[in-house]
Structure 1
Amino acid sequence: MPVGTFGADNSSITNISQVVNLFPTSSSDVLIRKLQTISDLREADIGVLKGIPIQEKEYLANHDLVREGDRPVYSFVVLDGLVGSTKHTGEGKRQITSFFVAGDIPDLHGLHLSVMDCNFSTLTPARIGFMRHDTLRAVCDQHPRIATAFWRSTLIDAAIYREWVINVGRREAYTRMAHILCELIFRLRSMGRIEDHVADIPITQAALGDALGLSTVHVNRMLQELRRRGLIATSGSKVHALDWAGLTHAGDFDTTYLHQRNPAD
């Protein structure tokens, strides 16, 4: 796994005028695929989702998309890359509280909670699509199945947060690392983002440490141990799960909390 960062862009998106491109078809396809993994959508619903205007922007790693205290009028969908929800202590120490992959809508709860209580930041170079809250509310009011799909999405986000609490709070470092890799691989696979059983996870070891409550040195040791036991192979940002059954056992990983309609083995 890489140690260095991909670069930093510390400016925050303060208004939508900074978002310049509109690609409703390609963006909608990513969103639709994600919602279909967790909910039953009909052709009419898919047609409505394809019509939602989505404004795109590309970011470098370490860019704050939404900051704690913001009152956004947009929610965003991850189109490519990896985003993290983060909180900071009074001393400035960062805790990553969840990862978000392509198709996820990390701040969908902003439709009903007017003030953000955490930050959402890119952990890798990312392509992000923004959707207006008033548009999403109108869609939900008029299309109950889509509203249900969005609701399920936020409920699954909450389930992931709960799993992360036990992962950081009660599991040993080795198990934590195996578990987070299992989760990322499983979620990326469901979105068709894995080729030849190899996942591209270009996050830094520092970011993994902030997600797992471990030092960078400890993260490196746990990755080495997973490699030594023949569970994974790594090359740069590529992670190959050599022994999926062994990795899930090592990580105490059960997919139930991800609530996929057609879970992968």
Structure 2
Amino acid sequence: MASAASDIGRMARKLASIASLTDAERQAIEALPLTVRIFEPGEDIVRDRDRPSHCCLLLSGWGFRYKVLPDGKRQILSFHIPGDVPDLQSLHLQVMDHSLGVTTTSSVGLIPHEALREMTRRFPGVAAIMWRDTLIDAAIFREWMTGIGRRTAHGRIAHMLCELYLRLHAVGLAEGFRCDLPITQIDIGDALGLSNVHVNRVLQDLRGRGLIMLRGRSLAIEDWSALTKVAEFDPTYLHLVRPRVN
């Protein structure tokens, strides 16, 4: 199984957005073996109760963690962009307690657990950065929980848009306050505890106030300062190395 450095380099770029990597550490990441698979919209990469033997690196497209209740209601727990390894915890937790799906046709690199374990044994600095990545995941969960529990619908949606833009910007996938946004209003509602009708009204209002523009599957933030005020957005919880935006 050959390594694809150009593909797995996305993982190095993501980790470099939250901590400094040495040349040797970057090379170790880029030498990891991976098998690339294509997943279609609505398809699961890994399911609740699975016992995976690999971690999933998102190479292109968007993914999301989610849970489904017995009555069929879905709660989206997080959105994921290229460079993310959203099931990194499966290195240490044998059974998945949620599912991981994709919102658009996505390319995913499957990295064997044993290869990751061997790399972290040889390069403890990378292990520390991967631990930092899981801690930032937890910080994002806390921020989402605060939003669902205490923010207005306008605040929740504005906050999510600010977060996604900054995360994309940090790995070179957004610029000029414009980025891809391949998620539906239903996805947004399932993530933020809002009805589709409520999401639509809030997005219409944000557009009407000149804060954002949505066209197809793309987002343009027309007034970053005003949007962050609506969101009460403080990017500290993302712990980015360079959180500045443009």
TM bucket, shorter chain: over 0.9
**Alignment equivalent of 1:35, drawn from 15, 30, 54:** 15
Tell me the residue number matched to 2:141: 161
SS in 2 for 1:38: coil
**Does the alignment pair 1:223 with 2:195?**
no
CA distance in 2, matches of 1:86, 1:24: 29
Q: What is the TM-score with the length of structure 1 in the denominator? A: 0.89
Return the offset for 1:197: 2.6
**Alignment equivalent of 1:53, drawn from 5, 23, 33:** 33
Q: What is the TM-score with the length of structure 2 in the denominator? A: 0.96
Tell me the residue number matched to 2:55: 75
Percent sequence identity over aligned pairs? 43
Q: Deviations 1:31-64 (Å, cap 9, x if unpaired)?
A: 1100101112101111111110121112111111
SS in 2 for 1:75: strand
Question: Contact between 2:3 and 2:30, CA under 8 Å: does it hold in 1?
Answer: no
Alignment of 1:40-189 (within 5 A): 40-189=20-169
Tell me the residue number matched to 1:252: 232
Question: Contact between 1:22 and 1:56, CA under 8 Å: does it hold in 2?
Answer: no
Change over 3 Å in CA distance of 1:23–1:198 after alignment to 2: farther
CA distance in 2, matches of 1:50, 1:64: 26
RMSD: 1.3
**Does the alignment pair 1:204 with 2:223?**
no
Question: Contact between 1:27 and 1:54, CA under 8 Å: does it hold in 2?
Answer: no
Number of residue pairs the alignment of both structures matches = 245
SS in 1 for 2:21: coil
CA distance in 2, matches of 1:124, 1:249: 31
SS in 2 for 1:95: strand
Query: Aligned AA for 1:168?
Result: I
Question: Contact between 2:14 and 2:84, CA under 8 Å: does it hold in 1?
Answer: yes
Q: Deviations 1:155-193 (Å, cap 9, x if unpaired)?
A: 111111111111111111111110111111111111111
Question: Contact between 1:23 and 1:56, CA under 8 Å: does it hold in 2?
Answer: no
CA distance in 2, matches of 1:64, 1:22: 25
SS in 2 for 1:202: coil
SS in 1 for 2:20: coil
Return the offset for 1:23: 5.9
CA distance in 1, matches of 2:147, 2:136: 16
CA distance in 1, matches of 2:3, 2:171: 19
